[in-house]
Chain A
């Protein structure tokens, strides 16, 4: 099973600041990695797929990078609605796996 480790567990930032979230895989997943955003009481929303492609309707301030085992989600300038929990997920191998999440909170 591919283990995805996200860091940091919690990120405290202010609106307008830049956010950098990390996801590290226990073995290569090539570029088969996605990022999701989840707000309380709601289903997750797909942000990024194949490491760097924005999903439909996702603002340009969200970007993804990386390949192999190290991946980054960057939010260039935080908006109030961006404070949420973020998960990475790999589809390279069965079983599909998610990272443990990064909670982005307002500083």
Chain B
């Protein structure tokens, strides 16, 4: 059974940093592209970043480019999102997600989400 378990969310001041983790199990981690998707309170879904299975290719939304860094650790089957220079508008539930075989970059599997609050 595929499981994605996010952690690392919390309250951080504007300009601060936070690192999110997503522990993956139930599939071959290194064979799957992974993404982060966020949802601000009461708002819609926003794709944030993706990384290829090998880690050699990364992609970012313009809203986070230069501030966020996605990475993965094959030995720990864990996906990361390093978030720097955080802003109030980064406040959201952050989900890690992957495909379910339907096609690359469709999200058939999601974690439960971790809440990031950027506030002074």
Contact = CB atoms under 8 A, between A and B. Distances in A.
Interface stretch (B23-31, B72-80, B84-92, B106-114): B106-114
B46 A98 contact: yes
B102 A43 contact: no
B40 to A, nearest CB: 12
A56 B44 contact: no
A99 B104 CA distance: 18
B11 interface: no
A96 B102 contact: no
B116 interface: no
A17 B50 CA distance: 38
A44 B113 CA distance: 11
Contact of A49 (B46, B59, B106): B106
Interface string A27-56: 000001010101000011010011001011
Interface residues of chain B: helix, strand, loop or mixed (majority): loop
B62 interface: yes
Contacts of A44: 45, 107, 110
What is the interface residue range for chain A against chain B? 20 to 34
A95 interface: yes
A46 B45 contact: no
Given A43-B95, A87-B45, A98-B47, A53 B111 contact: no
Interface of B: 35, 44-47, 50, 59-62, 95, 97, 100, 102-108, 110-113
Given A34-B102, A46-B106, A101-B45, 11 more contacts: A32-B103, A34-B107, A36-B107, A46-B100, A46-B107, A49-B108, A55-B102, A56-B100, A91-B106, A96-B50, A99-B44
Interface of A: 1, 32, 34, 36, 38, 43-44, 46, 49-50, 53, 55-56, 87, 89, 91, 94-101
